Amino acid sequence: MNLVLQGVGECAARLQRIAALTAPKNVVTVSDNALRCEGISFTPALRQTIEIAAQAAQLDATYMMGVRRLDEFKLVAMDMDSTLITIECIDEIADMQGLKPQVSEITEAAMRGELDFSESLKRRVALLEGLEASALERVYEERLRLSMGAEDMLKAVQAAGLKTLLVSGGFTFFTERLKTRLGLDFTRANELEIVDGKLTGKVIGEIVDATVKRDTVEHVCAAIGILPEQAIVMGDGANDLKMMGISGMSVAFRAKPVVREQANVALNFVGLDGILNLLAH
């Protein structure tokens, strides 16, 4: 069993301190901010000790069998809101209406898995009825920011020949702009209905919920001739679990507890480019 430890900033001393707890047969320097402890004796008690110590040291700790390679994978599929980007777009749109607290409350409950996603989206979008569609452009220009490490991660996987999919319970207004900006291969999201320059409070067509997200990943895999096990899937909320569950590597990024518990990898401190330290390339 191997353990990859990684952090941000000046973290060499912290990495060495936590690595020593594992009594590894070998320690490999993966990058300036990551170590791979090889041949550790895995026990539940040791894992608990490491996880507590790593959390206190603000390091991400990922257990892996052997060394995995980037070329094992052919697709990176990502959720958008709070994964590829730092915001929840619908919450920021609602802020333009003075309704952010009400919408954010529904968003949080849905992401924790306490509400059905489709129903929660309908309720949130309904609150936006009458809003000028120009508010969407303002959110994109003024508030939308890529998550830490997103561009470096994408450049690396694209250079390695992997395809990219952005699959979101958010909106096509944002996914299509990000597709062009970042050179993504595939996108899938919800389309807001706009009439006479204003939001109607409705979504056009099928709502992209957890099942549709999973089906989209499967469809793209089939279209490019690969198995879902050759996909890396990243997300943060409960509606990402189904698509994460069919992947070869599931990555919980700044995720809700229910997602961290079920993912292969949890990145709580490092950026999205943290996956590169897990994969030889």
Stated pTM of the model: 0.94
CA–CA dist 257, 1 (Å, integer): 24
Establish whether 81 is a catalytic residue.
Answer: yes
- Per residue in 228-243, pLDDT (tens digit) is 999 999 999 999 999 9
What are the tens digits of pLDDT across the range 55-91? Answer: 999 999 999 988 899 999 999 999 999 999 999 999 9
The catalytically annotated residue of 60, 79, 209, 236 is 79
Nearest to 152 by CA among 13, 33, 27, 5: 33
Q: What is the pLDDT of residues 112-149, one digit of tens each?
A: 878 888 888 999 999 999 999 999 999 999 999 999 99
Answer whether 128's CB lies under 8 Å from 221's CB.
Answer: no
How would residue 174 be classed by pLDDT, with cut points 50, 70 and 90? very high
- Over 80: is that where the pLDDT of 104 sits? yes
The predicted structure's pLDDT at residue 279 = 95
Q: Tell me the sheet residues that pair with 76.
A: 164, 232
Q: Is 81 helix (H, G, I), strand (E, B) or coil?
A: strand
Q: What mean pLDDT, rounded, does the chain reach?
A: 95
Q: For this structure, is 79 an active site residue? A: yes
Of the residues 32, 60, 71, 81, only one is catalytic, namely 81
Could you write out the DSSP letters of every residue in 179-195?
HHHHT-SEEEEEEEEEE
